[in-house]
Amino acid sequence: MAGPNLTEQRPHDEAEELLPWYANGQLDAADRARVEAQLSSCAHCRQQLAMERRLIEEFQAIAPEVESGWARLRARVEAPRRIRVDKSPAPRPFAELRALLSRPAVATLATAQVAFVVLAGGALLSLSKPVYHTLGSAPAPASANLIVMFRSDATEEDVRDVLRASDASIVGGPTAANAYLLHVAPTERQSALVKLQSDGNVQLAQPIDGVAP
Amino acid sequence: MLKRPRADTARSPAPDDRELLARIASGDLQAFERLYRLYQPRLTRFLTTLLKRPQLIEEVLDDTMMVVWQTSGNFRGSSKPSTWIFAIAYRKAYKAKARWPDPVEDPEFDTRISRDPGPDEELHHQRQRTALMKAMDQLSPDHRAVVDLTYFHGMGYREIADIVDCPVDTVKTRMFHARRRLKQAMSGSLVDWL
């Protein structure tokens, strides 16, 4: 039902309708001019605008969690790849390792992704841990307690030297981000970490906490 | 301009969404991860607004991103990447809703809001937020979608119309109606904000 002054009511209604998008900065110039003309002459609209801004603030205050969701989806994306790798008849770990290390993507990882590697390593570890525990006949099942990324130009020999120098062995990986999960004796972890982090062939080395054997 | 959710703040020069989609089309998992990290918080939030079953939110989020992963080569660039992705999420949410209608009572509702006692001011603010969420809960999913896309995602009415696939006037009308309902439901506490 129209109010008493039709000529004033219509621009008022149109402007009021646009207020949420004026407040979030998404109006084009024509719409914005229409709203601003109305705001300059209407206290009610100014009050409504204050409310819109408060609503935006409230709606923005809650940030959803990201990590668990990504781990879940990544497992789903990678599932078909893992099956393919498992079916290959005669795996040659070091040839594969070298091929993986030669990928230029390793060198260009963003810091944010490096942080992810640590988390992804943890996720992968938790997936693979039961497998290690079932290898009853194998010598001393080893859980990963370090995660490492080698430089893209590191050779197989470099990698071997790095691992020997820090008494580390590869127990998992490559992850999607081309990181490897390592095991070192828990008592030697700190010194191994220092060695790894100071090695020119290592791009990143981090401890993985709470998963030592 | 609204600030975007925190997850957007990548520390290295960020490739834009179009570039990421192009890389995803060639099977680049790192690009997909990056896009996921950009969109997961926003999509989770959007789907939380539309769907009341937490398990369904995760499922629809993953299904949405799997469609992105599998069909990003179909993105032709006639709309913004965000419009394309949110429209996929909106359609997926509606399909999921058809299979799993909302529970009559929402058992999760109270747990979504912290009940930790805090300083008076914080408690007061918490009550206002509770009132706002309850008011949102009473709106239809169509209205909630428009409200959330505007206030949280900072989108314009034309982009929202593309996402929910309806005329722009319908978006404006839904928003107008939703705001009135929010105001009515919160009446007292809203006055305190101003």
Residue whose pair of structure tokens reads 């834009």 in the numeric block: B16
Residue whose pair of structure tokens reads 């408060």 in the numeric block: A54
Contacts of A5 (CB under 8 A, 6+ apart): none
Residue B181: closest CA among B150, B128, B136: B136
Q: Which residues of A touch B65 (CB under 8 A)?
A: 73
Interval A48-69: pLDDT, tens: 999 899 888 888 775 544 555 6
Residue B36: closest CA among A178, A26, A104, A76: A76
* pLDDT number for residue A114: 45
* pLDDT number for residue A113: 46
Q: Which residues of A touch B154 (CB under 8 A)?
A: 24-26, 56
Q: How far is A139 from chain B (nearest CA, A)?
A: 35
Q: Are A208 and A145 in contact (CB under 8 A)?
A: yes
* pLDDT number for residue A120: 52
List the domains of chain B with CATH numbers: 16-103 (1.10.1740.10), 112-194 (1.10.10.10)
* pLDDT number for residue A183: 87
* pLDDT number for residue B130: 75
Question: How is chain A split into domains, by residue range?
Answer: 6-60, 67-207
In A, minimum Cα distance to B171 occurs at A17
Residue whose pair of structure tokens reads 């314009």 in the numeric block: B156
Residues of A in CB contact (< 8 Å) with B are 16-18, 20-21, 24-27, 47, 50-51, 54-56, 58-66, 69-70, 72-74, 76-78, 105, 109-113, 116, 176-177
Of A63, A78, A105, the CB nearest to B5: A63
**CA-CA distance, A54 to A50, in Å (whole number)?**
6
Of B29, B179, B183, the CB nearest to A77: B29
> Does residue B53 sit at the A interface (CB-CB below 8 Å)?
no
> Does residue B58 sit at the A interface (CB-CB below 8 Å)?
yes
Of B29, B36, B44, the CB nearest to A64: B44
Q: Which residues of B touch A72 (CB under 8 A)?
A: 58, 62
Q: DSSP readout, B138-191?
A: TS-HHHHHHHHHHHTT---HHHHHHHHTS-HHHHHHHHHHHHHHHHHHHHHHHH
* pLDDT number for residue A4: 42
* pLDDT number for residue A186: 83
Of A51, A61, A66, the CB nearest to B7: A66
Cβ of A111 within 8 Å of Cβ of B5? The answer is no
In B, minimum Cα distance to A62 occurs at B45
Q: Are A175 and A121 in contact (CB under 8 A)?
A: yes
* pLDDT number for residue A133: 40
Residue A100: closest CA among A182, A175, A178: A178
* pLDDT number for residue B129: 74
Alpha helices in B17-80 (DSSP H): 17-25, 29-50, 54-71
User: Residue B6 — φ and ψ, nearest 5°?
Assistant: -60, -30
> Interface pTM (ipTM) of the complex?
0.75
- 10-residue mean pLDDT profile of chain B (194 residues): values are 45 76 94 94 88 83 95 90 96 89 52 50 71 84 94 94 96 94 66 44
- 10-residue mean pLDDT profile of chain A (213 residues): values are 56 92 95 94 92 85 56 74 48 44 42 47 45 42 78 84 88 76 85 85 76 40
CA dihedral A193, A156, A116, B44 (to 10 degrees): -160
